[in-house]
Amino acid sequence: MSKQEKSYTSEAKFMLHGGDYNPDQWLDRPDILADDVKLMQLAHTNTFSVGIFAWSTLEPEEGVYQFEWLDEIFSNIHSIGGKVILATPSGARPAWMSQTYPEVLRVDGSRVKQLHGGRHNHCFTSKVYREKTQQINRLLAERYGDHPALLMWHISNEYGGECHCNQCQDTFRNWLMNKYNGELKALNDAWWGPFWSHTITDWSQIESPSSIGESMVHGLNLDWRRFITDQTISFYKNEIIPLRELTPTVPITTNFMADTNDLIPFQALDYSKFAKHLDVISWDAYPAWHNDWESTGDLAMKVAFIDDLYRSLKQQPFLLMESTPSGVNWHQVNKTKRPGMHLLSAMQMVAHGSDSILYFQWRKSRGSSEKFHGAVVDHDNSAENRVFKDVAEVGQTLEKLSNIVGTNRPADVGLLYDWESNWALNDAQGFGLETKRYPQTLQDHYRTFWEKDIPVDVITKEQDFSAYKLLVVPMLYLVSEETISRLKTFVSNGGTLVMTYISGLVNEHDLAYLGGWHKDLQEIFGIKPVETDTLYPRDQNTITYHNKTYSLKDYATVIELTNANIEGLYVEDFYANSPAITSHQYQSGKAYYIGGRLEDAFQKDFYETLIEELNLAPISNVKHEKGVSVQVRSSAESDYIFVMNFTEQNQPVLFESLVTDMVTGEELVGEVVLRKYEVRIVEKSNS
């Protein structure tokens, strides 16, 4: 069975709609469970993630199992034609387990063992926890593997965190021995051992960093982070052994996250590595819509950026595994979605490649910390409230979009995101400690394309660059010689490459390149970046670029020209009149270097020039003002065009050719006015 065949789309040719369902909280309320079945139909839902935190109900005592309730839930969902995404329950464990086997409890960075409680807090190395997890997973696969309602596996929940127990320390040492072929010299070389007398003379001296910020051995920090990713994946791989064995055709996912304060990709795990082990990417999106620090459009751009990264991890549609139909319970202010926002935000996910709209949570719990978190069914148990009706509207809309399932989004622009480089950059003592902002810088470069409806793949360093006309690589601080050589091939073969300040400074061990910038980068760009000036927030500088002036903040690289052309100049300071922006024709391609952190207006003008030069066509010919986003998914037969108004005003949009509204069936051409937060999904036939 190939990967492709294992895709859930071969199972489900419909958009998934539903979400996390926790019937285990309501087993003494058969009336509520019966209501669920009715309400699921009224909400136009069809798919439920079940059992995520149900371990204490599934195995109330060690070796004593209770599956009858889950049998009933499977039958209930099946009876209405629905599907189950069955979770493995390792995200939270029963109290008896922590009591009998304290080794399953996590130890924090200061070497303090955590008490039982909370969730997502087990040791990833613990032999006992791995065994117990496999046991319960095997039983679930044996019992439900052939159930016609089983759609997919949901492994654990939002893997994250780290453990510093003795077993983890030993496993880390073994991981290092393996990585450095048992040679301490290689490790000391990579970690720059003699610095502050950190040379290691015996493997047993190695300890995990108590916290990354406290350890000044950057090589150690970087390897620890890599180890945490590998150890989490290893735990996940252990979980899926019985599932692959017993249910080889059932696809597997685990729900990825975002870091939510600023809405950037999840930082702690390298998802580019994790993605290789999943059949389908899924993620949990909780943007703070209607917040008081950014415009709706700015926030929509950040959601789009993460979507385009997570979709590009496998270059295939993904699933929105969790979202809220109203507010959450853990933002500083938990604002509910204003009328129109639920449909709009849901359709944005589909527009960027999601084949589902799933919620946390189906029903509000009665007790504990999530009782006021948004849900499809509120404590009123009613299908008549605003939120429920919003959900039903999304369900009805999705029912009309089944042709879109499985379709992708071709892109000519690649934007490179790298977890490892971000870790190393954040660790770097130097530059501005608060102003590095790598993910936010990528968003700044992404914005222009998003505003101009030019599709972008946000890719990672191992992916194929040759598919793109333009590759944008901002702030790639850590870059291996291998990646440099792939960038070189990309440009020599005719690609256009953009790099910025604070790029190419260290290798994969976080060791600075010697002898100035890497000679291949010098060759590609025709420059030598010689100094990085870091600015205070009130420092002012500007650059001139193509007869216009733009303000600069945080960083300015002083550039020595070897072969490149000057495109822009610094205006002030000791580097006034020296190059700030350069371009260089290298073999069949071209390489641009942006020396400073510049205002949005620069990115806009700069990328507009490239868009023209490279003939990068917008994804559709729908014309609109700022704040409206147009995204397209395509099949051989049709383009499915999403026109989304992320502003609080009416917005005229212009359909230059005839399209059909997929929801209302109307034929549209010419000007159409979108109301505040309105979305139109239209089909344009390719024949």
Helices 184-191 and 218-246: angle between axes, nearest 10 degrees: 120
Query: Residue for token digits 């000057």?
Result: 566
Q: Does 239 bind ligand GAL (CB under 6 A)?
A: no
The nearest distance, CB 124 to ligand GAL, in angstroms, is 17
Q: Does 158 bind ligand GAL (CB under 6 A)?
A: yes
Output the CA angle 620-622-627, nearest 5 degrees. Answer: 105
Of 178 and 368, which has the nearer Cβ to ligand GAL?
368
For ligand GAL, the binding residue among 46, 126, 156, 157 (CB under 6 A) is 157
3-state secondary structure of 142: helix
Q: Which H or E element spans position 69?
A: helix 68-79
Of 119 and 244, which has the nearer Cβ to ligand GAL?
119
The nearest distance, CB 142 to ligand GAL, in angstroms, is 26
3-state secondary structure of 521: helix
Are the CB atoms for 659 and 379 separated by under 8 Å? no
Are the CB atoms for 91 and 49 separated by under 8 Å? no
| Total Cβ atoms within 10 A of residue 139 | 15
Of 328 and 559, which has the nearer Cβ to ligand GAL?
328
Of 84 and 456, which has the nearer Cβ to ligand GAL?
84
Q: Does 254 bind ligand GAL (CB under 6 A)?
A: no
The nearest distance, CB 405 to ligand GAL, in angstroms, is 24
Of 360 and 362, which has the nearer Cβ to ligand GAL?
360
Of 158 and 510, which has the nearer Cβ to ligand GAL?
158
CA distance to 51, 60, 243, 274, 402, per residue, from 252 (Å): 15, 26, 9, 12, 22
Q: CA-CA distance, 150 to 482, in Å (whole number)? A: 43
The nearest distance, CB 446 to ligand GAL, in angstroms, is 24
Q: CA-CA distance, 93 to 120, in Å (whole number)? A: 9
DSSP letter for each residue of 547-609: TEEEEEEEEEEEEEESSPEEEEEE-SSTTTTSEEEEEEEETTEEEEEE-EEE-HHHHHHHHHH
Q: Which of 158, 508, 523, 567 is catalytic?
A: 158
| Total Cβ atoms within 10 A of residue 195 | 12
DSSP letter for each residue of 645-683: E-SSS-EEEEEEEEEEETTT--EEEEEEEEPTT-EEEEE
The nearest distance, CB 420 to ligand GAL, in angstroms, is 24
Of 373 and 469, which has the nearer Cβ to ligand GAL?
373
The partner residues of 356 in beta bridges, in order of sequence, read 16
Residue with the shortest CB distance to ligand GAL = 360
Q: Could you tell me how many residues of this chain bind ligand GAL (CB under 6 A)?
A: 9
- Counting every residue written for the chain, the total comes to 687
The nearest distance, CB 286 to ligand GAL, in angstroms, is 6
Tokens linked to 657: 């050719």
What dihedral angle (degrees, nearest 10) is formed by the CA atoms of 549, 552, 556, 558? Answer: 10
Q: Residues 219-256, buried b or exposed e (16+ Cβ, 10 A)? A: bbbbbbbbbbbbbbbbbbebbbebbeebbeebbbbbbb
Query: Residue for token digits 């379709």?
Result: 407
The partner residues of 21 in beta bridges, in order of sequence, read 50
Q: CA-CA distance, 251 to 263, in Å (whole number)? A: 28
Q: Does 355 bind ligand GAL (CB under 6 A)?
A: no
The partner residues of 159 in beta bridges, in order of sequence, read none
Q: Does 322 bind ligand GAL (CB under 6 A)?
A: yes
For ligand GAL, the binding residue among 328, 351, 527, 559 (CB under 6 A) is 328
Q: Does 360 bind ligand GAL (CB under 6 A)?
A: yes
The nearest distance, CB 670 to ligand GAL, in angstroms, is 42
DSSP state of 26: G
Phi, psi of 243 (to 5 degrees): -70, -45
Torsion region of 79: left, alpha or beta (phi above 0 gives left; psi -120 to 50 gives alpha)? alpha
3-state secondary structure of 534: strand
Of 158 and 508, which has the nearer Cβ to ligand GAL?
158
First to last CA, the chain: 33
R_g of the chain computed on alpha carbons: 26
Is 158 considered catalytic here? yes
Q: Does 554 bind ligand GAL (CB under 6 A)?
A: no
Cis amide linkage into residue 603, ω under 30° from 0: no
Q: Which of 322, 451, 508, 683 is catalytic?
A: 322
Is 214 considered catalytic here? no
DSSP state of 335: P
Of 163 and 328, which has the nearer Cβ to ligand GAL?
328
Q: Does 284 bind ligand GAL (CB under 6 A)?
A: yes
Q: Does 286 bind ligand GAL (CB under 6 A)?
A: yes
Q: CA-CA distance, 594 to 500, in Å (whole number)? A: 5
Q: CA-CA distance, 640 to 629, in Å (whole number)? A: 14
Q: Does 373 bind ligand GAL (CB under 6 A)?
A: yes
Phi, psi of 489 (to 5 degrees): -60, -40
Q: CA-CA distance, 663 to 666, in Å (whole number)? A: 8
Farthest-apart Cα atoms in the chain, separation: 77
Give the residues lining the site for ligand GAL (CB under 6 A).
Answer: 157-158, 284, 286, 322, 328, 360, 370, 373
Q: Catalytic amino acids?
A: 158, 322
